[in-house]
Structure 1
Amino acid sequence: MDHQTHEKSENNAHLTPGRKPVLELLTSRPEALDTVFLSEDAPGLGDVIGKCRELGVRFRKVRRPDLDRMYPGNHQGVVARLRGRQLVELDELITRAAGSTFPLILALDQVQDPGNVGTLARTLLALGGAGMLFPKDRTAFIGPAAAKAAAGALDSLPLCQVVNLARALDACAEAGLAIYGSGTGPESRDLFQARLHFPAVLVLGNEDKGMRPNVGKRCTEKLSIPMQGGFDSLNVAQAGAMIMTEMLRQRL
């Protein structure tokens, strides 16, 4: 990634586009919003404007070309700029996990698709998980496309970004967290027969390559989902949602 591309990515990292995601943020965490930008020519934005006025959130009407330059994608005439996401240190995330009702950290090993990242964030938030852990390199984590798919979840979850995910998992294990991974093959255990322990970390790997070997060997157990009806695989967001839901069921 060259400097210009990196700078553009950093500038976009705190933008959330789209009417529904912005409305959800206004409802759930208005204090996280700095400014809501609205296209002058976009119809039907009265609900967004009304919510901003009700909650005292600053909003600005701008020309469509200016909004397109701010977020060159499908923004539906609305882009919210956030004050900054809840990036926390690893020690704090581990402490939060120990005290959570659903003491689970979700770790993403180079998950590339922002739609998958956003969906996983929404699922984890809905289930009451402790937060997310991800490496700084080769991840689609905190860009605006993931934020749109997450519809506000990335701005409500504690997020921890680390240089070396394998070492971070070692630290989690040393702190007493069980490390589980999503996997297939004879070495994996049927998700619905496994007896799970908490607090825990669930590691999900790259869409095409799965977990890197150095990350996978940190997992004390790999969990597989039994397939019926001719299906042989699920995408990472679907698999993650199923595993997290079963983990919550066992926890309760």
Structure 2
Amino acid sequence: MAGPDMSADLGNLGGNQPDDDLFADDDAAWDILEGRGTARDADDDNAADRTDALTGRASQSSHSSHQGVIARVFDAGFAEFGDILRDAPDAPLPLIVALDQVQDPGNVGTLARTLYALGAAGLVVVRHGGAAPGGAAARAAAGALEKLPVAKVTNLARTLDEADEAGYTIYAAGGAAPDMDGKPGSGPRNPFTEPLRTPAVLVLGNEDTGIRPNVAKRCHFTLSIPMARDFDSLNVAQAGAILVGCFAARRQKG
């Protein structure tokens, strides 16, 4: 997903976020996910539990509601990326998917569901600019976020450097090749015919802007989904599922 001009366009999401969707730029949501912000002062607790004298209904702040949603759906907490790297070769599918500022939590949850079902090793999300794995992500994941290792990183480029040093092949999902200074595989590859290598990291980019240049240049190969018809409305979760399926198929073939 180096840009919105890729063969399978990952920019068309179709639909708005529900009111309780939580984004990484929502610091309160991330504080709860990271183990902070769970303690409320007495005034806030009283306000959250207060019963309106006229309506008889308990009032609750949106922050408190978000807090409860996250606490219920992400009890597993975050994994260390180094641990995922260490354990990935033993996974049924030695593939890690890294999300470069994917902003729709539904996409995050759907991808987590696909990854867990196909045996992938884990998911990487960024702390700033991407969706927090809160309520909407958990609903789309259907329980997968509670089982799949998820790492949170602040600098995805450095994270990919770490994967590269560990011997992982890094793939960028997209149509335009990143500037890799003449490295092998700088042109887009067909994931249906490419002899995909594992252990690997697959990078999926932002729904509108794709993979950031500083992240893209860390990738060894670019994968572009060939479209059989004049149709370019695959979103990031759909395209990601196709690519993960290609890795799984290659793995099954040995």
TM-score (norm 1): 0.70
Cα pair 1:86 1:156 within 8 Å, conserved: no
* 1:156 counterpart letter in structure 2: K
Deviation larger for 163-172 or 85-94: 85-94
* 1:7 counterpart letter in structure 2: A
* 1:90 counterpart letter in structure 2: F
SS at 2:171 equivalent: strand
2: CA distance between counterparts of 1:83 and 1:161? 13
Cα pair 2:73 2:134 within 8 Å, conserved: no
SS at 2:120 equivalent: coil
Question: Which residue is equivalent to 2:215?
Answer: 215
Give the 5 Å matches for 1:19-168: 65-66=59-60, 70-71=64-65, 81=72, 84-168=75-159
Deviations 1:103-126 (A, max 9, x none): 010100000001111100100011
1:129 is displaced (CA, Å) by 0.6
The number of equivalent residue pairs is 196
Deviation larger for 211-220 or 147-156: 147-156
Root mean square deviation of aligned Cα? 2.5
Is residue 2:251 matched to residue 1:251?
Answer: yes
Q: Aligned match of 2:164 in 173, 177, 185?
A: 173
2: CA distance between counterparts of 1:238 and 1:83? 23
**Greater percentage in strand:** 1
1:223 is displaced (CA, Å) by 0.4
Question: Which residue is equivalent to 1:24?
Answer: none
1:86 is displaced (CA, Å) by 3.6
**Bigger relative contact order, structure 1 or 2 (CA pairs below 8 A, ≥6 apart):** 2
Unaligned runs of 5+ in 1: 15-62
Q: CA, structure 1 residues 98+86, in 2 after alignment: closer, same or farther (shift >3 Å)?
A: farther
Unaligned runs of 5+ in 2: 1-25, 36-56, 178-186
Deviations 1:123-168 (A, max 9, x none): 0011011111122111103222211221211111111111110110
2: CA distance between counterparts of 1:210 and 1:83? 27
SS at 1:98 equivalent: helix
**Greater percentage in helix:** 1
Q: Alignment identity in percent?
A: 49
2: CA distance between counterparts of 1:64 and 1:140? 29
Deviation larger for 204-213 or 182-191: 182-191
TM-score (norm 2): 0.70
2: CA distance between counterparts of 1:145 and 1:152? 12
Question: Which residue is equivalent to 2:232?
Answer: 232
Deviations 1:165-206 (A, max 9, x none): 011001101101110110114721111121111111110000
2: CA distance between counterparts of 1:194 and 1:98? 20
Question: Which residue is equivalent to 1:19?
Answer: none
Q: CA, structure 1 residues 67+176, in 2 after alignment: closer, same or farther (shift >3 Å)?
A: same
Question: Which residue is equivalent to 1:6?
Answer: 27
